[in-house]
Amino acid sequence: MDDSARFRITQMTDTGANVTLALSEDVELERVSQQQMMIEAIDRAVMDKDVKEQIKPVLEAILRAQPQMVVKSYAQTTIQISMPKKRYERMGSPRVGEKVTIDIQKA
């Protein structure tokens, strides 16, 4: 299986002879409020349209009174790579915050 992923460099350590990069998966997350998630869960759980129409306004009023919390949920992959400085320079010497692509394959 071939899985190419983009990673953002979060930390770099240069020891002179070697470079170590700490990478985390570069994923753009959609911000979703807890209220939105709860309303969607109730929409999926309650099948009767009339019941939904009665519950939804009450639920929205209750949820509006609660503090808003934005949820970002995704289990990111993190990788730490150490390499000779020459190889790091051949790949363009990427810095913290820049993106790199890594191909992961079973050998």
Ordered structural domains, the chain, with CATH: 1-27+74-107 (2.40.50.140), 29-73 (no CATH)
pTM over 0.85: no
Please name the residues in contact with 3: beta carbons below 8 A apart, sequence gap of 6 or more: 103, 104, 105
Res 105: pLDDT:
80
Structure tokens at 92: 């363009």
d(CA 88, CA 82): 9
Which residue type does 61 have?
A: A
Per-residue pLDDT of the chain (107 residues; tens, 9 = 90+): 456 788 899 999 999 999 999 998 877 666 667 777 778 888 888 888 888 888 888 888 887 777 766 666 666 788 999 999 999 999 999 999 999 988 878 87
Please write down the long-range contacts of 51-58, taking CB distance under 8 Å and 24 or more positions apart. Answer: none
Res 29: pLDDT:
63
d(CA 29, CA 83): 30
